[in-house]
Amino acid sequence: MAADRLSEYWDVYDRRLQRVGQQQRQDPVRPGCFHLVVDAFIFNPAGEVLLQQRSANKLNFPSCWDCSVGGSVVAGETITDAMHREMTEELGLDLPVSPADNYLLQPHSHWIEAWFAFQTDRQLADFTIQHEELQRVAYFDLATAHDHLNQIGFNAYTVELQRAWEHVHEPLKKRA
């Protein structure tokens, strides 16, 4: 059985991010409309990035390494609400999420991806993973993370990972 919840509802938006309706996940998104997706890279103080290995039961990219956390924004949620929910569900991680943590809105053919970046001192043993969604998590240096993300092929999140690292680490440099 697939881990994806095909019966969940999404809000649907136009290019200006104005809500224009609602639909079930299993239905195709109308041309010119978009649903929202959230993704994040989470870093530890050593500068390593947390990646998740997707469940073998996922419809897309089963068993591949992926960003730290992500998922669809369900009807009625904001992107910050959805990011908090996804971190709590998938990783057992209860971090505060603010609009300042969002560093990129990336439009695609029928979805808009909201990228977030965080830093935590959590160790691997501190995460409670949702096995329906993912197999495991691990911290990697950036070069090794890029190698793992290349499994997906069409988009290895090269730009997104670099921008996430800068989003988390550049403010730290300014404070030093």
pLDDT tens digits along 80-98? 999 999 999 999 999 999 9
* Coil vs helix vs strand at 12: strand
Collapsing DSSP to helix, strand or coil, 166 comes out as helix
> What is the pTM assigned to this prediction?
0.88
> CA angle, 41 as apex, 44 and 61 as ends, to 5°?
130
Q: Please give the pLDDT value at position 61.
A: 85
Q: Residue type at 150?
A: N
Model pLDDT, residue 154: 58
CATH class of 9-175: alpha beta
What share of the chain has pLDDT > 70, as a percent? 91
Which residue matches tokens 């921008």? Answer: 163
On the question of pLDDT at 79 being above 70, the answer is yes
Mean pLDDT in the chain? Answer: 89
- Give the CA distances from residue 108 to residues 35, 105, 114, 167, in Å, rounded to whole numbers and listed in that order: 10, 10, 11, 22
Residue 41's DSSP bridge partners are 117
Compute the distance between CA of residue 97 and CA of residue 94 in angstroms, rounded to an integer.
9
Q: How many CB atoms lie within 10 A of CB 126?
A: 11
How far apart are the two ends of the chain, measured CA to CA in Å?
50
The pLDDT, as a whole number, for residue 173 is 54
pLDDT, tens digit, 9 for 90 and up, residues 2-32: 455 667 898 999 988 899 988 788 888 889 9
Among 44-58, 73-87, 134-148, 152-166, name the one with the lowest average pLDDT.
152-166
